[in-house]
Amino acid sequence: MGKIYGGRDVVAGQWPWQASLLYQGSHICGAVLIDSRWLVSTAHCFLNKSRAPEDYQVLLGSTQLYQHTQHTREMSVSRIITHPDFEKFHPFGSDIAMLQLLLPVNFTAYIVPACLPAPGMRPPSHASCWITGWGMLSEDAPLLSPFRLQEGKVGLIENKFCNILYGQRLGKDTSSSVHEEMLCAGDFFTGKAICQGDSGGPLVCDLPRAWVLVGLASWGLDCRHPVYPSVFTSVAYFTNWINETQRLTPLPDPVSGRPQTRLPHQRLWAAGSPVPGTSLVPPQTCLLLLVVLRALC
């Protein structure tokens, strides 16, 4: 599992697009809800694991990983689609995957999609951006029960500066270069960064009228001092691919699956355009959902 190194506990109802990706009942990565049927995560979360959708579930509406409430929903996965160029050209290249839910999830004050960025968009350097995730407090300290979702405010960092920092630490090891489909973020003053297992979680920025999904937690150096920037998959680089995948992917057969499950109030045991019927979320809807969310929370 992975936490935000240097982060703090999240209040219930915050970051309602944050999801936990479960593999055979255990949390393995974060994921991000982008509409009622689709989530995005990082492709490396599925390395050396089964690709059978029935082995995966998605938890939404919860800020405590294994202590769920009436707001938590467990959703079945219908398809897992990783980018065809994943690690084709360099490590962690095109590190993005999409998960189609078997049935659409109902939006609530605790379950709201993040908005996708326009293709090629990059937020201004002064944008208010946040990372969220579960798990490790540091390289050596796991997050303890009740496993509350963590948050951390970070700043965006130019890729060229990020590469200079990584070059100073790693020398000529080009396997750790930050490429054009990636972006860097961090906080040198308070030491906020992603940690192990935080992969697939969101980097969101508060832009005019909406929270926009800017990045997906991909990789970084050890989460200990001195803190180096974290590296994220740039969602704007893949917006067209995301939209095209949604458009071309047929709806699943709901007869073969089970509906969304409202989980009981108990500790769960675990280790670690559009086609007809598809609900895509345009920016205007993101704005409306955000207004409703802020009114209800």
Closest to 1 (Cα-Cα) out of 202, 99, 142: 142
Q: How distant, in Å, are the alpha carbons of 65, 75, 107, 263 from that of 72?
A: 10, 10, 11, 6
Instruction: Please say if 218 is a catalytic residue.
Output: no
Closest to 203 (Cα-Cα) out of 216, 186, 190: 216
From the list 20, 199, 218, 234, the catalytic residue is 199
Closest to 225 (Cα-Cα) out of 192, 267, 202, 259: 192
Residues 6+ apart with CB under 8 A from 149: 9, 10, 14, 15, 18, 62, 63, 64, 65, 132, 133, 134
d(CA 245, CA 250): 10
From the list 35, 95, 187, 198, the catalytic residue is 95
Instruction: Please say if 44 is a catalytic residue.
Output: yes
Alpha-carbon torsion angle 34, 38, 44, 49, nearest 10: 150
Amino acid code (one letter) for 227? V
Count of other CB atoms within 10 angstroms of residue 127: 15
Instruction: Please say if 199 is a catalytic residue.
Output: yes
From the list 20, 27, 35, 44, the catalytic residue is 44
Q: Which residues are catalytic?
A: 44, 95, 199
